[in-house]
Copies of this chain bind each other. A is one copy, B any other.
């Protein structure tokens, strides 16, 4: 006979919407798997393009470029936030960097065991090593370093079907009411910004009937 459990405590996974061009996504990419695992949660990686979202808000680039005072503050905030979360950081000389190709590759990897390592390495290139991330060479190097068949994956990433998938993910983000990155969904609730990642994880991990 199986003893009944008093409380259902099944945690759900967390949806993680991110763009490699986004500096606050950098902090979340670096810590989300570790902090989710602590609560017994998995991460559903949701790569999307911030550009079309920002365009719909009236900005033709990052708000940190559009609004200079906001940008000046953000670079100082990043130094302090990365120190706080123990995430490596160097202010890049180019911002925001083109991220379409690495995002397309991330879509190929979303259900693969290498997705987390891949995302962290792309972010490290952008926001620690201060290198471009949008060329086939850049992305290929990261895949090769992970022991993966770079040429094959990049070709798959550049297929029409996969390009469409990235557009669809971006449209899905917009339909969900996403207006920035990183954004998390936990049990259907939206949480915006790395500042809310812990709240989102706690919300996802709570017992259903506490």
Q: Does A6 contact B (CB under 8 A)?
A: no
Please measure, in the bound complex, the distance between the C-alpha atom of A178 and the C-alpha atom of B195, giving whole angstroms.
20
Asked if B67 contacts A177 (CB within 8 A), the reply is no
Q: In angstroms, how far is the closest chain B Cβ from the Cβ of A82?
A: 13
User: Which one, B57, B73, B190, contacts A190 given CB within 8 A?
Assistant: B73
> If A80-B199, A192-B77 touch, does A177 touch B72 (CB 8 Å cutoff)?
yes
Nearest-neighbour CB distance to chain B for A80, whole angstroms, equals 7
How far in angstroms is the closest Cβ of chain B from A104?
Answer: 25
Q: Could you tell me which residues of chain A, from 16 to 74, have a CB within 8 Å of some CB in chain B?
A: 57-58, 67, 69-70, 72-73
- Shortest beta-carbon distance, A114 to chain B, in Å? 32
Bound state CA distance, A75 and B189, in angstroms? Answer: 13
Measured between alpha carbons, how far is A76 from B199 in the docked complex, in Å? 13
Which residues of the other chain, B, contact A84 by a CB distance below 8 angstroms? 199
A179 at the interface (CB under 8 A from B): yes
Q: How far is the CA of A196 from the CA of B73 in the complex (A)?
A: 12
- Please measure, in the bound complex, the distance between the C-alpha atom of A57 and the C-alpha atom of B177, giving whole angstroms: 23
